[in-house]
Structure 1
């Protein structure tokens, strides 16, 4: 009995290599879908991200919420632009829980942008909010009465609002709908 061994013809080898290569490309593409989808979602939202925490401590533990937010602040929400400096934050609490180094806005300590990097100056920043959030009252940043570093802070009842200005050189993209987080 004779055993015949055959090998694939030369014309089938390139086709086999093509199928293997396409399969590898498909697997790579599928594994990257999360990253691609996140990038598209971020772009469609005007390069913004939102967050929400039950307490200030939870948000600070995740290194998302500013350190001046009291640990016992409740219902902490925020939105920020990933391509710039602007941030909006709100929480339930009061101005009484702010650190001692926060200062009241006055003629001697006016409400101005306080750059924390490079050679930027106050004139390099806008003074009004460009981010959209359903929970942010129109022109709330202009009603700020306290500054904590670069943050402009105000309170209305039990709601505390905080804002950091955006640089004038950052392109403001259209946001489809106000963030509801």
Structure 2
């Protein structure tokens, strides 16, 4: 009986170690992983919406995926990756006819010292190098960069106002 218990414990520890070792590599390729794995192992989740209008609104069920007010409602191909155990977020969308309107809200000094902390297969590597514009009209600080009609925005979960 003790030997069987020891084997089970060793197998569980081995699986945990393998998962911990593989998790960083999987974070870039999590589009096709089950939500349960993303939630409990990677602590991240991805949702895609055909338009910004179809994303959840404040007070609706999936609050993690509520888009900031500055995202145009007619934006298409909206993809959002969120950190389920924190407040980091990646947002990618395509501009339609409505322009991207900055809020004009000043960000705290020293905002955005780093690029995005989350990674995704659909997120360009050099987006963090482009300064983009700071957007602090919401609860969390965002950095927004446009490349043609593609818009990339990220927040590392830093609050706009302390």
The normalised TM-score by structure 1 is 0.53
Coordinate RMSD, CA, aligned: 3.1
- Counterpart in the other structure of 1:53: 49
Aligned residues: 115
**What does the per-residue CA deviation read over 1:4-33, in whole Å, with 9 as the maximum and x for residues that have no partner?**
xxxxxxxxxxxxxxxxxxxxxxxxxxxxxx
- Counterpart in the other structure of 1:155: 146
Shift of 1:103: 6.1
Shift of 1:156: 0.8
Trace 1:17-166 onto structure 2 (pairs within 5 A).
39-44=36-41, 46-61=42-57, 64-93=66-95, 97-102=99-104, 112-113=111-112, 127-149=114-136, 150-166=141-157
Structure with higher RCO (Cα < 8 A, 6+ apart): 1
Q: Where do 5+ consecutive residues of structure 2 fail to align? A: 1-33
Q: Distance in 1 between matches of 2:131 and 2:48?
A: 22
Q: Where do 5+ consecutive residues of structure 1 fail to align? A: 1-36, 114-125, 168-181
CA radius of gyration, larger in: 1
Tell me the SS of whatever aligns to 1:43: helix
